[in-house]
Each structure stands twice: as structure tokens, then as C-alpha cells.
Chain A
Amino acid sequence: MRVTAAVGLVALAIGMLAHGAGAAPNTSCPAAWAHGWQSLADKVGAPVYCPTWMPNPLDARIGGQYQDIYSIGKDRSYLVSFLEHGDLGSGDVHVNFRGYPGRKLIPHCPAPVGHGTLPCFSDPVGRMSANGIRATVYQVNQGADQWHVLLAWHYRGGLYTVSQHVINPYDSATRVRQNLQRLLKSLVLVQPAR
């Protein structure tokens, strides 16, 4: 499900989010996945983050067997989702990558109760640093990131996130945070070609 970013923005987000470091990561997107992420960067006209590691059994090949959602909004924001839906109760492994080029503030999502909106990412519970990125950990998230733990950070005026669902087999927030730490460490920037 694509989260539609509402017009309202959260002023506090500037204060809450940590900024990515200026230095670019020094590894590259895996060859088998690179085409899809390069294509995404070109389409949104902004840098995107390609993971070089994914929680088992996922890979991050856009267009591959685990890709679930691939959505680019009119505002150039994107959501790329990878999902393994286990049969017979073996659980799900679900990782989302988002980018909001040119946007620093957290978007708003429809409120679960009533007619208002609320921040798509909320309940910051800490910080996580790796790979030159200092991210904020959000525990309560909406839309496709509901029931996920999410990391959010800024890079060159844009907002980026990665999140994972807390569900069997990664069935605690602690385990998911361990995966997210590893994911954060694995991210490499892919610059648009034009």
C-alpha cells in the first residue's frame, strides 16, 4: 500500500531527524541490483540508497522475486518494498525504502481515528549511526510502515527512510533494530546519471 504524503508537514521533524554525513559511502550497489536502483535515481532525479545487505531471505533487486511495491509520486517521493510472505505461519520478512527528495519534514498520513492526519513516522526512541549516517529510530509508523521499526535521516535536503516489519521470524523490535543497524551500515548512495 502506497502511503500518500499529505500536505501537512511536521515542523518538529527538523529538530528530530539527524542529518546524513557529507561523505559518500565507499562501496557500490551489488551488480545484480544496481540497474534497478540506478533507474530509480534517474527517475526521481536525486540520490537513492541501495542496500548491499538484506535480511534473509530477501534480496534488493528491483523487479526481482521479492519486490512488492515500486511507487514514485508526482513529488518524486518513492517507496520500494521487498517482501517474503511465508506460508504455513513461517512469517513475513518485509523491508521498505523511502525517499523524499527536496523534503526535510516528515509527511503526514491519514489518522487511524477521525478525519485528521498525523505524522507518518512518530515515537522517536533513539538514534542509530553507521556508514556516515545518523538516523532517528521511529517506533510508531503509518501506512506501509505500520508495525515496522523505521530509521529516518536527511541527505542533501532530502528525507530517506528504511524500515522493517516486526513479525515472525524477526519477531521483536530488538531483532529488527539489529537488522536495521546492519542495513544502515550496508547502504550505498546511487547518484542520478543526469
Chain B
Amino acid sequence: MRLTRRRFIGGAAAAAVAGGGIYELVDRLGSSPARPAVEPAGMPPEQHLLDLTTTHSEGVEVIVPPLHHAIVTAKLDVGDLRAAQTKLEDVLRDIDSTYPLTPAGLGVTVAWGIPYFDKYVPAQAKAHLPHDRRAQKQVLLPTRRFPSDPSTTILETNDLVVLLRSDRIEHIEAARKEIFGLPFLTVTSIRRGFAGGGFDGGRSLPKKMALAAGVPGADLIPDSAELFLGFTSTQKAGLGPGTIANHETLGYVDLRSGYFRNGTHMHLSHISEDLEAWYLNFDFAERVLTAFRPGMTDVRDGTQTVAQGPPQVSPESDLVRQFHKTGRFGHSASIQATSRLQQDTIGVDGTHYAKGTAIPQRADFNTLDNPFAFSIDPARDGVRKEPSAGVHFVVFNPSGDDFERNRLAMDGVLPGGTKLSVPPRNRAAGFNSVLTTTHRQNFLVPPRRHRSFPLAEL
């Protein structure tokens, strides 16, 4: 089922692809969503927050994601840590002054991996890295595989990652070149992708891009689907609001010195999606119960945006009961056991979060990378030229343990110790049978004031 090069460039998109890569098609095939012209008065202390507009899709309020995304990972070769810190911060401040912090401008998030803290600032890290008091573990955990991951999933060891988000690809490219022109950064991978479109009823960007690239199953994607798998995933009520994913907000984390206040945890993975298996083996009703939960019978055929607010949250007891009744569980329902607040909660800043509120803030986007647009080690990373449907999954949680709880629940391992016993990657376990995770890594996102070489100045 491999695509040939001839077929890839043989379609209407051939000229664009030959000219500068498949992602240039995003500009040709998509149009920028309407954005407010008002520039935020100041930058928030959090790096991971980007003020996004909302619209309505099939009666549900949804967040409109930026059209373009890029992720660049790197390793460091630094002699003078403080000089490097100054240089990186100068570049980031220059970018800040060039682009407003909006999708029309640019969102930049710099995060750091365990290898950086271990190699460059081990003593400071020991004293200042936040601690997850709920899990009794470090907030930044070693990257691990999960039960449904194949043994081939690569656990990466990058020093840092930069997430770039914008409706304008030229903003992303300019910032990427500026940041990674610094001599002490060696790029290890570049990952690109797109999301959105389609909320106005027209053909969405993922559908257009998949068709242009000729990936298997492209013709089966619903025309206006926000993402390849056909369902909207940016329901406002399904994403963590405001600063809920900050380390400190829900009280899960001991900030210790407070250096990382306004920071968060970021997990990055690449996941291949088998679109043909999804659309040819699962009928619409089964796609609904797989993506959401068994017993969800009130979803009209062809619906793409399913409400995911607190009223739709399944308690763990319902999840377990449904599993014993049907032998299967849905993706959303399994994760909700850990990703939603189990009771009304007051954040440290006094914000009231209702029971059922989502905690994670996802920033995932579809890709045709196979698995990356660039790798410094293409053999290790299994890079192929043929485009492939997938998702670069980015999620912000208060801690690494909080992410792991969600990811384990996706495999039927619930936080209270209950295990919904399904073989790994079985069709009974949500999306797992059509997803394959190729790469993973955990990162810490410092607050904006410490985004450049955190702890190096201490």
C-alpha cells in the first residue's frame, strides 16, 4: 500500500509540491480564519497560552486552531551557558516584538527535556524543579512507553523543543530560521502540519491536504472534517480553560522555590493514523462509540462535532459498567476518568472550575510527515519520503504524572487501579487499533521569564 513518487507528484498539487514541499499547499488550499484585530496588551507569563477565537460547529462552541504548526527539536553544544541564554533570549524577544501573540502573528513555546537539565544544570534542577505532590514524583518524568505502544516506539532524548503556531506559514519559517540559526543549536527534527478549516461547511484543510498528497483513505475523510479521523477535537468545553494546566493551578504540584510558577508540562508524540482501517472497518456508529463511548446512540449519522462538556462526561463507574456490558470502551470516556475534574475545584488564583472541567490543553495537529519532515538521523527515525497520515500530538498538563494518568486510561488502566482488560491495540480499546505511536518525549515548559536556558543564571 505504498505510494509511489509518481503518484505523489502526479496530481493537481504537483507544482506546489515540487516547488517547496507539501505544506506550501496549506496556503493554497486554506484561507486564514477571521481573527480579532485587537492585539493583546501584554504577553502572559505562560508560554503555552495562545488566545484563540471560537466559532460554532453543529451547535457546539469550538476553538479555531491556528492553520500552521511546526515543531523543531534540537540538541545543544554549549560552552558558555549564560552567553547562550542571553543570545537565545535576545532572539526570542526580537520575535516577540515582530509578531503579536495571536494566530495572525505567532505563538512560540520553548520547552526543555531531561537531557538538558541533567547535563547542563543538574544541581540547580535538583533544587528547583517542581515536584508532583499527588504522585510523589518529579513533574518532569522520564519518557516511557504505554501498553498500546509498539516496542518500536522511539523514546527521544532531545535537549529542547520549540513549538511554533500561526495562520501565516512565513511567520513560522522566519522565526524557525532566526532561532535555529544560533550556532549552539543542532536541529534534530522538524515536524510540520495543519489543522482546521471546514467549520464554515466548506472542504477542510486536512481533507484537501490528504487528497493532494494521495494518502490511503484520503477519499474517505468527510469533506469538512477538522481532523483526518472525521471528528472535531477542539470543542471549547473539551479543552482545559485558562491557566488550569499550569503546574500550580490545581495544587497537584509543589513549586518548591517557585522558579517554574506559570510553567507546565508538555508531552510530544508522533502518531500514525490508518485512515483506511478507520473508515473501511468501522461504520459511523462504531466510529462514534470508539471515539466517544459505547451506548452513545443519539449522534445523528454524519455528525462531526459532538458535545464534550461536563454534562457529557462519563464517571468512571459508567465506564466500567459499559465495558462489562459491551466488552469495549470509548476513547473520550476512558480519558475523562482522569482528564476531567472529579469535583468542583478552586484554583490557586481563586478561579472556580466546575466538576467535569477538562484539565489538559491539547495543541495537536494533523501531519503528512512520515514521521518527520526532517530528521538528523533518518534511519533511526524511519523517515520516508512518501506522505503519511498522522498527528503530531502536543498536550500541556500540570505534571508528567497527570499526562501519564490520561494516557494509561486511554489503554484502559484507570487511576484507582481498575484495569479494563483489553489486549494492546485491540479494536475494543478506543482508537488504539488504528493508531501507532512512533516517537515520544516529555518536556518542561518554563514560564516566559525563564524560557531561555532555565536555571542557567543561578
Contacts and interface: CB of A to CB of B under 8 A. Distances in A.
Interface of A: 89, 91, 112-115, 122-123, 139-140, 146-149, 166-168, 171-174
Q: Which range holds the interface residue count of chain B? A: 20 to 34
Residue among B218, B280, B281, B284 with the highest chain A CB neighbour number at 10 A: B280
Given A113-B428, A139-B220, A166 B276 contact: yes
A172 B284 contact: no
Given A112-B281, A166-B276, A172-B219, 5 more contacts: A113-B427, A114-B326, A114-B428, A172-B217, A173-B220
Contact of B1 (A139, A146, A168, A174): A168
A147 B327 contact: no
A139 B204 CA distance: 21
Contacts of A148: 280
A188 to B, nearest CB: 29
Nearest to A138: B283
A147 B1 contact: no
7 contacts: A114-B326, A139-B279, A146-B281, A168-B1, A172-B217, A172-B218, A172-B219
A137 B90 CA distance: 60
A121 B303 CA distance: 20
Contact of A140 (B217, B280, B326, B426): B280
B2 interface: yes
B281 A140 contact: yes
B280 A147 contact: yes
Contacts of B280: 139-140, 146-149, 166, 173
B279 A114 contact: no
B336 to A, nearest CB: 20
B219 A173 contact: yes
Nearest to A174: B219
A91 B216 CA distance: 14
- Could you tell me the dominant secondary structure of chain A's interface residues? loop
Contacts of B214: 172
Contact of B283 (A122, A168, A172, A174): A122
Contacts of B281: 112, 140, 146-147
A11 to B, nearest CB: 15
A185 B311 CA distance: 51
A102 B214 CA distance: 42
Contacts of A166: 276, 280
Contacts of B220: 139, 173
B283 A140 contact: yes
Nearest to B284: A123
Contact of B327 (A114, A168, A173): A114
A115 B326 CA distance: 9
Contacts of B284: 123
Given A166-B280, A172-B219, A114 B328 contact: yes
A129 B51 CA distance: 50
A173 B282 CA distance: 15
A89 B218 CA distance: 21
A167 B327 CA distance: 30
A171 B214 CA distance: 10
Given A139-B220, A166-B280, A113 B1 contact: no
Contacts of A168: 1-2
A114 B422 CA distance: 11
A118 to B, nearest CB: 8
A89 B328 CA distance: 34
The 9 closest A-B pairs by CB, nearest first: A123-B283, A114-B327, A140-B283, A122-B283, A174-B219, A113-B428, A113-B328, A168-B1, A147-B280
Contacts of A139: 220, 279-280, 283
Contact of B427 (A91, A112, A122, A173): A112
B2 A89 contact: yes
Contacts of B285: 122
B84 to A, nearest CB: 48
A171 B427 CA distance: 23
A140 B214 CA distance: 21
Contacts of B218: 172
Contacts of B277: 147
A148 B279 CA distance: 11
A59 B142 CA distance: 57
A167 B2 CA distance: 10
A144 to B, nearest CB: 14
B191 to A, nearest CB: 26
B89 to A, nearest CB: 49
Contacts of B219: 172-174
Residue among A112, A122, A147 with the highest chain B CB neighbour number at 10 A: A112
Nearest to B1: A168
A168 B283 CA distance: 22
Contacts of A122: 283, 285
A167 B1 contact: yes
Interface in B141-186: none
Contacts of A173: 217, 219-220, 279-280
Contacts of A140: 279-283, 286
A141 B282 CA distance: 9
Nearest to B280: A147
Contacts of B216: 171-172
Nearest to B302: A125
A112 B220 CA distance: 21
